[in-house]
Structure 1
Amino acid sequence: MLSHPLLFMIMLLAIGFIAKNNSLILAAAVLIILRLIGADEKIFAVLQTKGINWGVTIITIAVLAPIASGQIGFKELGEAIKSPYAWIALAAGMAVALIAKYGIQLLSTDPHITTALVIGTILAVAVFKGVAVGPLIGAGIAYMAMKIFDFIK
Structure 2
Amino acid sequence: MIQIPNEIIFLILLLGIGLLSKNQSIVIAVAILLVIRLSHLGDRIFPLLDKHGMNIGIIMITIAVLVPIAKGKIQLQDLIESFKSSYGIIAIISGMIVALFAANGIQLLEKTPQITIALVLGTIFAVVFLKGIPVGPLIGAGIAVTLIKIFEWLKYFFD
TM-score when normalising by structure 2: 0.93
**What is the aligned residue count?**
153
Which residue number corresponds to residue 19 of structure 1? 21
SS class of match (1:38): coil
Instruction: Report the CA distance between 1:78 and its aligned residue.
Output: 2.6
Alpha-carbon distance, 1:80 to partner: 2.2
Residue of structure 2 equivalent to 1:130: 132
Gap runs ≥5 in structure 1: none
Would you say 1:8 and 2:22 are equivalent positions? Answer: no
Structure 1 residue ranges, 4+ long, deviating more than 4 angstroms after superposition: none
Identity of aligned residues (%): 50
Aligned to 2:121: 119
Tell me by how many angstroms 1:90 deviates. Answer: 0.2
Instruction: Name the aligned partner's letter for residue 110 of structure 2.
Output: S
Q: Alpha-carbon deviation of 1:24? A: 0.1
Query: Residue in 2 aligned with 1:59?
Result: 61
Aligned with residue 78 of structure 2, among 76, 79, 100 = 76
CA RMSD in angstroms comes to: 1.0
After superposition, give the CA deviation of every residue in 1:76-100 in whole Å (9 maximum; x if it has no partner).
2232222110000000000000010
Which structure has the higher relative contact order (CA within 8 Å, separation 6+)? 1
Q: Residue type of the partner of 1:77?
A: L
Q: Structure 1 length as normaliser, TM-score?
A: 0.96
1:149 pairs with one of 144, 148, 151 = 151
Structure 2 gaps, min length 5:
none
